Each structure stands twice: as structure tokens, then as C-alpha cells.
């Protein structure tokens, strides 16, 4: 099973990815996690990425495409994967198409998790408060910028994948278990 999860920050992509990887025994490829690991290790790429992410902007396609391509070559991706946070732009989607073609792979579905922006701001604020660990990009101003960046740059992917017949939309404002059930139905229809 090769899936992409789309949706604005805080829509529940990470939560749903965890369920999918357990259900299908495939890895979650989260560019955010990979980048945060590089930030924690204070690598040159990590430091550059941190500055960009703290503004709520997107890391360059060149860096992200390279990370994803290398990751897709690893053995645990042969049975499938869940992409979470990639692609974010049409050029990244086109680069992913080329990567997958080159590797003899194809997507099974693209799941769009829809959500209300104002609810997301509250959800992320609670996540930071409850965990006691606020990420640099978890304040309201930066989050609203991230939501705007998502609308401007990532939302066009919905039409891109709809045109390819791969898009399945799920209401992310439902309880977590209901979202999971809706994703399972969408993947198997």
C-alpha cells in the first residue's frame, strides 16, 4: 500500500499515519520527522531547515526531494509506505511521480484529511500545552502562516491528484476512530 496523506497542519495526518503503518506493516515517511531529527542533531541542513520552519515557511524542494528519494530506496519501503508531509507543492508531486516511475512504484491513493482552520489553531495550541513541549512552529501567528502557506502552495495538490483519479477526501473534524474508519473505507473502494 503506497499512500499520501494531505491536509493542513494539525488535521491529524500524523495520528492517522501511525494507524495505517500498524495496519499495513509499512513505514511512515514523514519529512517533518526527518527534518526535526536533523534539527535536533544540529546538522548544517537541520540548522538551515530550523530557520525556515520557525518562520512557518517550507524547506526547499531540492533538500526534501533528496531526502524522500533516498528513503524510498530503503528495503522497508518495498511493501509500501505512507507519505506524510510530502509532496507539498505541484513541483514536488511531479518529482515524486518521476521518482516512483524510476523505481517501478505507483501510488494506491492520496487521502485528503479536511479540517476547519480555526479548530486547527486551537488543536495545535492544546497539543503544545498538553505535551509541555512547544515546537518553534506551534504558536498561533506561525501556525496561521503555515495554514496560509498550505492553502496557497499545497492545496493545489488536491486538484492535481483528483485529476489522476487518486484523491479520496475524509472529514478530519470527526473523532479519531471515525476518521480512521473513513480512511480505511476510502483506501479499499
Active site (catalytic) residues: 13, 88, 127, 135, 146
CA atoms within a 13 Å half-sphere pointing along the CA-CB vector of 63: 16
Round to whole Å and give the CA distance between 99 and 69: 7
Residue 160 has φ and ψ, to the nearest 5°, of -55, -50
Cα–Cα nearest to 93, from 45, 61, 58: 61
Question: CA geometry: angle at 127 spanning 86 and 64, to 5°?
Answer: 20
Residue 93 CB contacts under 8 Å (≥ 6 apart), including other chains: 87, 157, 160, 161
- Answer for the pair 28, 21: CB distance below 8 angstroms, yes or no: yes
CA distances from 76 to 24, 38, 71, 73, 105 (A): 12, 21, 9, 9, 14
Round to whole Å and give the CA distance between 171 and 112: 8
**Exposed/middle/buried for residue 53 (C-beta within 10 Å: 0-12, 13-18, 19+):** buried
Amino acid at each position: 500500500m503506497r499512500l499520501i496523506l494531505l491536509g493542513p497542519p494539525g488535521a491529524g495526518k500524523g495520528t492517522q499515519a501511525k494507524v495505517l503503518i500498524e495496519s499495513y506493516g509499512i513505514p511512515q515517511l514523514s519529512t517533518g520527522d526527518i527534518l526535526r531529527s536533523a534539527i535536533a542533531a544540529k546538522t548544517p541542513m537541520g540548522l538551515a531547515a530550523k530557520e525556515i520552519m520557525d518562520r512557518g515557511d517550507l524547506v526547499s524542494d531540492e533538500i526534501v526531494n533528496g531526502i524522500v528519494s533516498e528513503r524510498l530506496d530503503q528495503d522497508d519501503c518495498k511493501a509500501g509506505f505512507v507519505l506524510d508531509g510530502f509532496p507539498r507543492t505541484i513541483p514536488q508531486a511531479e518529482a515524486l511521480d518521476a521518482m516512483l516511475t524510476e523505481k517501478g512504484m505507483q501510488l494506491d491513493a492520496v487521502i485528503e484529511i479536511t479540517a476547519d482552520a480555526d479548530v486547527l489553531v486551537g488543536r495545535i495550541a492544546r497539543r503544545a500545552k498538553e505535551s509541555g513541549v512547544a515546537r518553534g512552529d506551534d504558536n498561533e501567528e506561525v501556525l496561521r502562516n503555515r495554514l496560509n502557506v498550505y492553502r496557497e502552495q499545497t492545496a493545489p495538490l488536491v486538484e492535481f491528484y483528483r485529476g489522476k483519479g487518486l484523491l479520496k477526501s475524509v472529514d478530519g473534524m470527526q473523532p479519531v476512530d471515525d476518521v480512521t474508519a473513513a480512511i480505511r473505507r476510502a483506501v479499499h473502494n
